[in-house]
Each structure stands twice: as structure tokens, then as C-alpha cells.
Amino acid sequence: MRPPARPPSTAGRTKDIWGERTPFAPGTDWPERADAHLTREPERWVTSACVLCSNGCGLDIGVAEGRIVGVRGRTGDRVNHGRLGPKGLYGWQAGNSPDRLTRPLVRRDGALVETGWDEAMDLVVAGAQRVLEEHGPLAMGFYTSGQLFLEDYYLQAVIARAGIGTPHLDGNTRLCTSTAEWALIESFGSDGNPGSYTDVDHADTLFLAGHNVAETQTVLWARMLDRLHGPDRPRLVVADPRRTPAAELADVHLPVRPGTNVMLLNALLHEIIRTDRVDRAWVEAHTVGFDELAAVVKGYPPERAAGVCGVPADGIRAAAELLGAAERLVSTVLQGVYQSHQATAAAVQVNNLHLLRGMIGRPGRTVFQMNGQPTAQNTRETGANGLFPAFLNWQNDEHVERLARHWHVDPMRIPHWAPPTHAMKMLRYIEQGSLRWLWITGTNPAVSWPELGRVRSVLEKEGLFLVVSDAFRTETTDLADVVLPAALWGEKAGTFTNADRTVHYSGKAVDPPGEARADFEALLAFARAMGLLDDEGEPLPRWSTPEEAFDDFRALTRGALCDYSGLSHELLRRDGGVQWPRPEHADASTERLYGDGRFRTGASECQSYGHDLLTGALNEADEYAAHDPAGRAIIKAAEYLPPHDVLDDEHPLRLTTGRTVHHWHTRTKTARAPELQAAAPDMWIEMFPDDAAARDIADGDMVQVVSRHGLVQATVRLDGTRRGVVFAPFHYGYFDVDDASGEGDAEGTRAANEATPTDWDPVSKQPVYKVTAVEVVPLGGDEERR
């Protein structure tokens, strides 16, 4: 790896988001480009990767005088070839912020006051023991993140599933990529993306379904953009209601109405079949379910879809022509599908597109059911996102037994009589009073969960003992009984895996501030203080360092699809990003899954028996075995259903929520990075000019967005979105409300989730954040300002 002689100037990268173009031809290597941002010359460098999205760009952390002073992209890393985007370049500064939590907080007489770890942990443990004694393990829950490390999640899975014996363990990955997980399972039998980012280098056609990649995975878009600027440019098809940067460059942009993805995708499949683009031999040899799909999509001609989706039938035909003619097709799917209506049903139709065309597992031919958070893949793999570790099937007794043996406990100690509890259901159990002790790590649900009025009232509830681990005071820590100060990325060691299965080691560069501690240490201290034991009387877990946790996990994955057995902290420190599967003693990883057309769908090996896509009804073992796909991919069809939150005269517009390039989620990090905060200092909404004019609203006016569930106030931008659709970023909460806008008392009306409903996909249980029925009304007083 060649470090840059002198760090290139990066001051302007909040505007020059993707940096300089380095065009390249299909099948050639993506040129390297060394991006860096340093506030001074480092004394030493520590190997890591960026944790500000699922792209997983390899980087080195620069350290001087015990502080992080900058980052540089690793040119030798397979993911980014040296590049970093704006969040990667500037976001690390949050760790140096003077307002980090440095001591635990406990609630006394209603207020949070500082204390030491001993008292704080004693309270957490005493609370847990009391709840366990009085109400049993089902009164305890854990809600974790997609932003910690693999080792942290695996530890939580051991504690919750084997130690406490509660099914109430889920991650914020439920809000993020549980649809990715389920779309992969429903079609291919197992989680795990088939493709590799190098597929972008080979593609002749790119299809982005509800994925604003240019803003949310800027370095992946830089790779696509370099292809688009290079010889033999790939064709680009974008399905997104908004005019995203990718939509601007698309050959076909389908500005689909939010919530109508299944209709659109069925119409595309209709055309693919009608124009006979199906690879019949491959479909015959490697799939089941083609006939049902053909029968269903017969009812979806482009003319029908055009009316429902609000796009021209000719546009649908043009898109289908490009997708059908492609010889090397790469599709990506993200929140425009996962958080929209019929999430899993729609995501699966993109898999079907690839299955019909036999385009999977070979260079330039793949679907990416994308991830969002940097470590979401690990939340899923380790069993902290509602499924079991190592892609084991909780409905399969042999799998449960294997897990129990590995953990040295009786299978009956591991709850598996019903599906593990999903996040929104945990909220309901708290509301009902059956869940009474909850530990939240690395997530801020008081801003990121839907219907915030309800979320606040439930988390504040008398009778809930709430523990929150975070590095900052947040809207959620403000509701806690105990707040534990967490070490951030760069202050602790661990591993994580991106959306193309690349695993990175992230080293400890500096000490955490004050008494802040790594989540792993806090969780382990809890396990020990609770006296958790396995059935042989040994401490549960038996290990006590992140490296030992990794070794235990990789032993469990031996032979699984996500085979980590050939990886180690040492190898990852040495080699940088390395993909799984990497079986023990293998010299190299398997770059693409399913190249042989064999999928993990056999009844004895599949991760789940799957669901009915419309109702979410779970299949039983014997029904699945009776039609065992036995290694063939499963083509699952779905009829279109209209969104639940219906439009009417009082709520005639669709609110869709999402991201902007400069901020990360609830902004605890990016609001503390001056360049990023300056680039997007306050909340806004986007409207279509005609919709605004009809309501006497002008650009810059203050408006109120009213749904059936709550309301949001913001200034209007007449830009970016389609007719009938309002967009709001969900980044803005309340922690900086006074200094952010000067609007003063925005408490309760600034966060987009004030307006979103409690609703979820029947299969993945992912909340529906992108199809809320709303009206927008001008706020009084603005008339004069105009």
C-alpha cells in the first residue's frame, strides 16, 4: 500500500462530494486515489475502516499526542481503493468533541447525575435481578445497533439467548436491513449478498431500486460514476420518486410513486417474460416457482402499472428493454424498497429479475440487497437481529442443538418456541407492561423510531428500567435510568463486515475519554455480575476478550455460508479487508456466492422456511420439506396491494423520509463535525413546485406537515421531488435545537418521525417510513416574511 506523500487538500469535499473522476473501462481495475483529511501530521497510523455507512471503506486512523488527528483511505483496500467520502473524511472529529459522556449517569430524584461505574453497574444488575425474580426472563430485553462490532453483538446474543433466556433481543438493523436479510433468505435460503463490489467494474447495466447511492454510499457511487465517465459506459436505470444525483444521469429514471414498488417491478418482470428475455435453461436447472411468477405478472402490463406508479408506460418498457438486454446486470436495492410498502415482496422481485435472467454469482451479474449501517451484517450474522447466529435456523431442532452444544447449554435454555421478538413488538411489550428492563446500546430510538409521540411516552413509562449506552447525551439517554458512557470507534478494537462481505479489523487508536468504556467491557461486566453460567458450571461466555469472542464465533461458523473460520484478528490486521466465506486453511476467500447455481435452500440447511410474502405467515418445517427446493433458488411471486396509510382529501400527499449526504442518522456524530454541520445545519422539507403553489407556499416558507400520527415543522425547498410527494430528512432531533435554528421551541415538531406511523412489513417486520399520507399547510406569520 502506498501512503500519500502529502495529504491532498480536502477542505472542499462537502461540496465536491465524489472527488476527482478516475474513469475506467469495463473489466479493468478501478484506479486508486488516496483521499485523506488531517488536521496535523500524525505520529502513527492505526488500521481501521470507516463506520459511517455499509460501504466499509478501508482507512488508517492518524494519531498524534494521544488524539485522533485525521484519516487516510487505504489504496490497497478492495472496497475503496483509497477513496473516502465526506462523512468518512470529516466524521471522525465527533470523537474529540468536548461534550462526550465521560462518566456514567444515574437518575436521582428525576434528574440524571454523574456517578462511578461501580454504582451504575450495581444498579443495572440489581434492576435485572429484581425483574428476573419477579417477572422472569421474558421481562428483560436488549435493543442494539448496526454500528458496534461483531464481537459486541455476539456477546449480546450469548447473554440474551443462552444466559438470560429471553427472545427479546433485536437491533436497529430491524429498521435498516431486516428486509435485505429476509429478501436474501426468501429467495436464496440464506442471508449474505451473493456479489462483490468488483461486479460494478464489469457491469454493462446498473439498476438502482430505491437507493440514493450517490448520497448514501458516496464511494460506491464514485466507482459507478467512474464507469459512467469511462469507455463503454454502462446503462443506468433508477427507480426513485426523487430526482437523486443518480436519477439525473440515468438512461431511464422511473419516478415511481412511493409505496408502489411491487406494481412497478411486476410490470418490469411482465415485460422481461413477454419479450422472452428469460434464460429458460438456467431457470429450469436452478430455480423453483417460475410458473407462479409468470401467472401473477401476466396481470401487470405496463399500462396498468403506469397509472398506479405514476410513471409513463413507455418508461417502464424502456427500462425493461435495458434490463432485459443487459448481459452483465448489477442491481442494488435499499430503503426506497425496504422502508416502503410491501418491502420484502418488492425486494424479492428484484431477486427474481436476476433469477429469470440467470444473472447471479458471476462477474458483473448480481443483485445487492444492500446494507446501510457499517456493521449491520454482523448484527444479523451473530444473532442479534432476531435470527440465530451463523445463519442457523431457529425452527430447525438440529440447528438449535448445534448452537446449544457450542454454548454448552441445554437447547431448552435458548428460546426457540416462537420467532425472536422484533423491535416494534418490544415497544408494544413495554407499553403493555410485560417488558420491564431494557438495555439499549448504540442507537437513538427517541429520534429514529416511528411515531415519536408514542415512543417517548412508552420509554418514559413508570415500571420500565431503561439502560442506555452511548457516547453522547441524546434524546434517548434523556429517558434512561442509567446511562453508560461508551468508547467510540477508534477507541476500541473489533471487526465488522460490509455489504459485499468484506470483513475489516478496526484497531484501538486512542484511549476513550474519562471513564468511557467499550461496550464489550460493559456487557461482559454485566454477564459476570449476573453470574451467568453454562450447563457445565463455567462462566457464560467462557471467553473475555473481543479476540476470543471472534475466535468462538468463527468456530461456530465453520461450514456455514458465512464461514469465518479462516479469518482471525491477526490476519485481518495484516491483510486489511477480506471477504467471507473464508474456510479454515483456505488461501483465498470466495468472491461470489452461488456461482455454481446451487443455493442453500435445502430443508436441512436453509436459514428459514420462509414466509408468505403478502401475509407474513411463517412456513412450517414439514410443509417446506414436502416441497424441498433442495438447492434451487426460490422464485416467489407477489400481488400488489395499495399502501395502508391511504390518501384522502385531508391527507392528499405522500411523505417520504430519508437521508442527505452530509448527515448520519440522528446526527450525534455529524453535527459534531464542523464541515458537515455547516453544510446542512437545519431541518427542511422538499416539495414539488405545483403542489406548493396550490397551497400558496413559496420556497423558504415555514410549513407544517400533518399526518394522522403527528406533525413536523420545517422550511420548504421547491426542489428534488415528484408531484404528490414530500420528502423530509430524518436526521434532525432535539439535542441541539436551541443552537440549530433559532426557532427555539421546536421540541416535538422537528423530527420527521413525529409524523410517521407504527406499521411494519409483514415478513421482515421493518417499519414503513416512506409512505405516510400527509397534508402540508403554510404556517402563519410567513406571509409577511415573503
Ligand X SMILES: Nc1nc2c(c(=O)[nH]1)N[C@H]1C(S)=C(S)[C@@H](COP(=O)(O)OP(=O)(O)OC[C@H]3O[C@@H](n4cnc5c(=O)[nH]c(N)nc54)[C@H](O)[C@@H]3O)O[C@H]1N2
User: Using CB under 6 A as the criterion, which residues of the chain lie in contact with ligand X when the complex forms?
Assistant: 53, 87, 145-148, 172, 175-176, 209-212, 215-217, 239-242, 244, 256, 258-259, 261, 334-337, 339-340, 372-373, 441-445, 448, 469-472, 474, 486, 488, 519, 656-659, 661, 663-666, 668, 730, 752-753, 756, 769-770
Kindly state whether residue 57 participates in binding ligand SF4, applying the rule CB under 6 A: yes
Q: State which residue, 48 or 713, has the beta carbon closest to ligand SF4.
A: 48
Total site size for Mo ion, rule CB under 5 A: 3
Using alpha carbons, select from 320, 338, 330 the residue that is nearest to residue 360: 330
User: For 160, which DSSP code?
Assistant: I
Q: State which residue, 502 or 657, has the beta carbon closest to ligand SF4.
A: 502
* Whole-angstrom distance, CA of residue 353 vs CA of residue 421: 32
CA angle 718, 719, 722 (to 5 degrees): 100
Angle between helices 302-309 and 313-325 in degrees, nearest 10: 120
CB of 379 to ligand SF4, least distance (A): 17
Rounded to a whole number, what is the largest CA-CA distance in the chain? Answer: 75
| 329-333 and 205-209 beta bridge pairing | parallel
CB of 59 to ligand X, least distance (A): 16
Q: State which residue, 395 or 497, has the beta carbon closest to ligand X.
A: 497
State which residue has the least CB distance to ligand SF4: 88
- Side by side, the strands of the sheet bearing 329-333 are 252-254, 235-239, 205-209, 329-333, 366-369
- Residue 34 binding partner per list ligand SF4, ligand X, Mo ion, none, with a CB distance cut-off of 5 to 8 Å that depends on partner kind: none
Q: Mark the segment that binds Mo ion (CB under 5 A) among 211-219, 373-381, 425-433, 709-717.
A: 373-381
Q: What's the half-sphere exposure (Cβ side, CA atoms, 13 Å) at 509? A: 28
CB of 248 to ligand X, least distance (A): 12
Q: State which residue, 145 or 477, has the beta carbon closest to Mo ion.
A: 145
Kindly state whether residue 671 participates in binding Mo ion, applying the rule CB under 5 A: no
- Residue 219 binding partner per list ligand X, ligand SF4, Mo ion, none, with a CB distance cut-off of 5 to 8 Å that depends on partner kind: ligand SF4
CB 735 within 8 A of CB 668: yes
Q: State which residue, 63 or 518, has the beta carbon closest to ligand X.
A: 518
CB 374 within 8 A of CB 56: yes
Using alpha carbons, select from 276, 210, 277 the residue that is nearest to residue 237: 210
**Beta-ladder partners of 60:** 47, 72
CB of 674 to ligand X, least distance (A): 17
Q: State which residue, 219 or 427, has the beta carbon closest to ligand SF4.
A: 219
* Whole-angstrom distance, CA of residue 677 vs CA of residue 304: 44
CB of 27 to ligand X, least distance (A): 27
Total site size for ligand SF4, rule CB under 6 A: 14
Query: Locate cell 413546485: which residue?
Result: 689
CB of 498 to ligand SF4, least distance (A): 8
Task: Please give the sequence-ordered ranges of beta strands (E in DSSP) within 423-575, or none if there are none.
Answer: 437-441, 465-470, 482-485, 494-497, 502-506
Q: State which residue, 190 or 217, has the beta carbon closest to ligand SF4.
A: 217
Kindly state whether residue 679 participates in binding ligand SF4, applying the rule CB under 6 A: no
- Residue 239 binding partner per list Mo ion, ligand X, ligand SF4, none, with a CB distance cut-off of 5 to 8 Å that depends on partner kind: ligand X
CB of 530 to ligand X, least distance (A): 19
CB 631 within 8 A of CB 219: no
Q: Which of 145, 196, 217, 749 binds ligand SF4 (CB under 6 A)?
A: 217
* Whole-angstrom distance, CA of residue 577 vs CA of residue 80: 10
Backbone torsions φ then ψ of 73, nearest 5 degrees: -65, 145
Q: Mark the segment that binds ligand SF4 (CB under 6 A) among 47-55, 197-205, 334-342, 753-761.
A: 47-55
Kindly state whether residue 218 participates in binding ligand SF4, applying the rule CB under 6 A: yes
Query: Locate cell 410517521: which residue?
Result: 756
For residue 745, give the C-alpha cell.
421551541
Q: State which residue, 36 or 680, has the beta carbon closest to ligand X.
A: 680
Kindly state whether residue 55 participates in binding ligand SF4, applying the rule CB under 6 A: yes
CB 59 within 8 A of CB 88: yes
The neighbour count for residue 617, using CB atoms within 10 Å, is: 11
CB of 485 to Mo ion, least distance (A): 24
CB of 753 to ligand X, least distance (A): 5
- With H, G, I as helix, E, B as strand and everything else as coil, classify residue 363: coil
Kindly state whether residue 774 participates in binding ligand SF4, applying the rule CB under 6 A: no
Q: Measured in Å, how far apart are the chain's first and last C-alpha atoms?
A: 56
Query: Locate cell 422511473: which residue?
Result: 254
**Beta-ladder partners of 483:** 105, 468
The neighbour count for residue 428, using CB atoms within 10 Å, is: 15
Give the total residue count for the chain. 786
Kindly state whether residue 255 participates in binding ligand SF4, applying the rule CB under 6 A: no
Backbone torsions φ then ψ of 578, nearest 5 degrees: -135, 135
Kindly state whether residue 501 participates in binding ligand SF4, applying the rule CB under 6 A: no
Task: Scan residues 157-216 and list those touching Mo ion (CB under 5 A).
Answer: 176
CB of 373 to Mo ion, least distance (A): 5
CB of 87 to ligand SF4, least distance (A): 4
- Residue 57 binding partner per list ligand X, Mo ion, ligand SF4, none, with a CB distance cut-off of 5 to 8 Å that depends on partner kind: ligand SF4
* Whole-angstrom distance, CA of residue 204 vs CA of residue 215: 22
Q: State which residue, 451 or 534, has the beta carbon closest to ligand X.
A: 451
Task: Scan residues 71-100 and list those touching ligand SF4 (CB under 6 A).
Answer: 80, 84-85, 87-88
Using alpha carbons, select from 504, 480, 483 the residue that is nearest to residue 494: 504
Task: Please give the sequence-ordered ranges of beta strands (E in DSSP) within 2-43, or none if there are none.
Answer: 36-38
- Residue 470 binding partner per list ligand SF4, ligand X, Mo ion, none, with a CB distance cut-off of 5 to 8 Å that depends on partner kind: ligand X
Q: State which residue, 477 or 579, has the beta carbon closest to ligand X.
A: 477
For residue 636, give the C-alpha cell.
416467489
CB 172 within 8 A of CB 144: yes
Kindly state whether residue 372 participates in binding Mo ion, applying the rule CB under 5 A: yes
User: For 494, which DSSP code?
Assistant: E
CB of 87 to ligand X, least distance (A): 6
* Sequence-distant (≥ 6) Cβ neighbours of residue 394 within 8 angstroms: 387, 388, 400, 416, 419, 420
Kindly state whether residue 19 participates in binding ligand SF4, applying the rule CB under 6 A: no
CB of 439 to ligand X, least distance (A): 10
CB of 542 to ligand SF4, least distance (A): 34
CB of 735 to ligand X, least distance (A): 9
Q: State which residue, 149 or 624, has the beta carbon closest to ligand X.
A: 149
- Residue 85 binding partner per list ligand X, Mo ion, ligand SF4, none, with a CB distance cut-off of 5 to 8 Å that depends on partner kind: ligand SF4
Q: State which residue, 56 or 302, has the beta carbon closest to ligand SF4.
A: 56
Kindly state whether residue 767 participates in binding Mo ion, applying the rule CB under 5 A: no
CB of 725 to Mo ion, least distance (A): 21
CB of 528 to ligand X, least distance (A): 19
Q: Mark the segment that binds Mo ion (CB under 5 A) among 368-376, 607-615, 625-633, 679-687.
A: 368-376
Using alpha carbons, select from 450, 481, 511 the residue that is nearest to residue 769: 450
Q: State which residue, 89 or 254, has the beta carbon closest to ligand SF4.
A: 89
CB 58 within 8 A of CB 380: no
525 class by beta-carbon count within 10 Å (0-12 exposed, 13-18 middle, 19+ buried): middle
Task: Scan residues 491-510 and list those touching Mo ion (CB under 5 A).
Answer: none
Backbone torsions φ then ψ of 612, nearest 5 degrees: -75, 125
For residue 30, give the C-alpha cell.
478501478
The neighbour count for residue 99, using CB atoms within 10 Å, is: 11
Kindly state whether residue 224 participates in binding ligand SF4, applying the rule CB under 6 A: no
Binding site for Mo ion (CB under 5 A): 176, 372-373
Binding site for ligand SF4 (CB under 6 A): 50, 52-53, 55-57, 80, 84-85, 87-88, 217-219
